[in-house]
Amino acid sequence: MDNFQSLRAKISAEYVETVRRRYHTMTGEQLDEQMVERLILMRQSEMVFLDMAALVEAQGQQLNDIDCNISHASSFVHWGTEQLEVAREYQKSSRKCTCIAIALGAGIILFLVLPILSSIAQY
Protein backbone atom coordinates (compact mmCIF):
# COMPACT_ATOMS: atom_id res chain seq x y z
CA MET A 1 0.00 0.00 0.00
CA ASP A 2 2.89 2.34 0.77
CA ASN A 3 4.35 1.64 -2.66
CA PHE A 4 1.10 2.71 -4.25
CA GLN A 5 0.93 5.92 -2.24
CA SER A 6 4.52 6.82 -3.04
CA LEU A 7 3.99 6.05 -6.73
CA ARG A 8 0.87 8.19 -6.73
CA ALA A 9 2.71 11.09 -5.06
CA LYS A 10 5.55 10.79 -7.57
CA ILE A 11 3.16 10.83 -10.54
CA SER A 12 1.34 13.83 -9.09
CA ALA A 13 4.57 15.74 -8.58
CA GLU A 14 5.71 14.96 -12.12
CA TYR A 15 2.38 16.14 -13.48
CA VAL A 16 2.67 19.43 -11.54
CA GLU A 17 6.12 19.94 -13.05
CA THR A 18 4.80 19.14 -16.52
CA VAL A 19 2.00 21.70 -16.14
CA ARG A 20 4.50 24.35 -14.98
CA ARG A 21 6.84 23.67 -17.92
CA ARG A 22 4.05 23.75 -20.48
CA TYR A 23 2.67 27.01 -19.10
CA HIS A 24 6.12 28.57 -19.05
CA THR A 25 6.78 27.38 -22.63
CA MET A 26 3.53 28.86 -23.90
CA THR A 27 3.45 32.16 -21.98
CA GLY A 28 6.99 32.70 -20.71
CA GLU A 29 5.66 33.30 -17.17
CA GLN A 30 6.12 31.31 -13.98
CA LEU A 31 3.09 29.88 -12.16
CA ASP A 32 2.45 30.02 -8.46
CA GLU A 33 1.24 26.93 -6.59
CA GLN A 34 -2.42 28.05 -6.46
CA MET A 35 -2.58 28.62 -10.21
CA VAL A 36 -1.04 25.19 -10.89
CA GLU A 37 -3.70 23.56 -8.72
CA ARG A 38 -6.45 25.44 -10.58
CA LEU A 39 -5.11 24.35 -13.96
CA ILE A 40 -4.88 20.75 -12.81
CA LEU A 41 -8.43 20.84 -11.43
CA MET A 42 -9.71 22.37 -14.68
CA ARG A 43 -7.98 19.61 -16.68
CA GLN A 44 -9.44 16.95 -14.42
CA SER A 45 -12.91 18.49 -14.75
CA GLU A 46 -12.52 18.54 -18.52
CA MET A 47 -11.54 14.86 -18.50
CA VAL A 48 -14.56 14.00 -16.34
CA PHE A 49 -16.88 15.77 -18.77
CA LEU A 50 -15.27 14.06 -21.76
CA ASP A 51 -15.63 10.68 -20.04
CA MET A 52 -19.26 11.44 -19.25
CA ALA A 53 -19.92 12.41 -22.86
CA ALA A 54 -18.39 9.14 -24.05
CA LEU A 55 -20.50 7.16 -21.57
CA VAL A 56 -23.69 8.96 -22.59
CA GLU A 57 -22.95 8.27 -26.25
CA ALA A 58 -22.27 4.59 -25.56
CA GLN A 59 -25.42 4.27 -23.48
CA GLY A 60 -27.40 5.99 -26.22
CA GLN A 61 -26.24 3.31 -28.64
CA GLN A 62 -27.17 0.63 -26.11
CA LEU A 63 -30.64 2.18 -25.77
CA ASN A 64 -31.00 2.12 -29.55
CA ASP A 65 -30.00 -1.56 -29.55
CA ILE A 66 -32.53 -2.33 -26.80
CA ASP A 67 -35.25 -0.49 -28.71
CA CYS A 68 -34.39 -2.44 -31.87
CA ASN A 69 -34.50 -5.74 -29.98
CA ILE A 70 -37.89 -4.86 -28.48
CA SER A 71 -39.23 -4.07 -31.96
CA HIS A 72 -37.96 -7.41 -33.26
CA ALA A 73 -39.48 -9.26 -30.30
CA SER A 74 -42.80 -7.50 -30.86
CA SER A 75 -42.86 -8.52 -34.52
CA PHE A 76 -42.03 -12.12 -33.57
CA VAL A 77 -44.87 -12.18 -31.03
CA HIS A 78 -47.27 -10.78 -33.63
CA TRP A 79 -46.17 -13.39 -36.19
CA GLY A 80 -46.51 -16.17 -33.57
CA THR A 81 -50.04 -15.03 -32.73
CA GLU A 82 -51.00 -15.16 -36.41
CA GLN A 83 -49.50 -18.65 -36.73
CA LEU A 84 -51.48 -19.84 -33.68
CA GLU A 85 -54.70 -18.57 -35.27
CA VAL A 86 -53.88 -20.44 -38.49
CA ALA A 87 -53.13 -23.60 -36.48
CA ARG A 88 -56.47 -23.28 -34.68
CA GLU A 89 -58.28 -23.07 -38.02
CA TYR A 90 -56.41 -26.15 -39.27
CA GLN A 91 -57.35 -27.99 -36.09
CA LYS A 92 -61.06 -27.13 -36.51
CA SER A 93 -60.91 -28.17 -40.15
CA SER A 94 -59.14 -31.41 -39.22
CA ARG A 95 -61.81 -32.27 -36.62
CA LYS A 96 -64.57 -31.65 -39.13
CA CYS A 97 -62.86 -33.87 -41.73
CA THR A 98 -62.31 -36.59 -39.11
CA CYS A 99 -65.98 -36.57 -38.14
CA ILE A 100 -67.06 -36.76 -41.79
CA ALA A 101 -64.64 -39.62 -42.44
CA ILE A 102 -65.92 -41.56 -39.41
CA ALA A 103 -69.53 -41.03 -40.48
CA LEU A 104 -68.76 -42.12 -44.07
CA GLY A 105 -66.82 -45.16 -42.80
CA ALA A 106 -69.69 -46.16 -40.54
CA GLY A 107 -72.15 -45.70 -43.43
CA ILE A 108 -70.05 -47.83 -45.76
CA ILE A 109 -69.66 -50.53 -43.12
CA LEU A 110 -73.42 -50.54 -42.51
CA PHE A 111 -74.07 -50.59 -46.26
CA LEU A 112 -71.77 -53.63 -46.65
CA VAL A 113 -72.61 -55.46 -43.39
CA LEU A 114 -76.43 -55.16 -43.44
CA PRO A 115 -76.90 -57.11 -46.69
CA ILE A 116 -74.49 -59.78 -45.45
CA LEU A 117 -76.32 -60.05 -42.11
CA SER A 118 -79.71 -60.17 -43.76
CA SER A 119 -78.54 -62.93 -46.14
CA ILE A 120 -77.13 -64.92 -43.18
CA ALA A 121 -80.39 -64.43 -41.27
CA GLN A 122 -82.37 -65.94 -44.22
CA TYR A 123 -80.47 -69.25 -44.08
pLDDT tens per residue, range 11-24? 888 888 888 888 88
Closest to 16 (Cα-Cα) out of 41, 53, 48, 50 = 41
pLDDT-derived band at 118, boundaries 50, 70, 90:
confident
Cβ pair 42, 19 in contact under 8 A: no
- For 24, residues 6+ apart whose C-beta sits below 8 A from its C-beta are 30, 31
In 7-120, beta strands by DSSP E = none
Eight-state DSSP code of residue 122 = H
Positive or negative CA dihedral for 108, 109, 114, 116? positive
pLDDT tens per residue, range 41-90? 888 888 888 888 888 888 888 888 888 899 899 999 999 999 999 999 98
Q: What is the pLDDT of residue 94?
A: 87
| 3-state DSSP helix/strand/coil % of the chain, to nearest 5 | 95, 0, 5
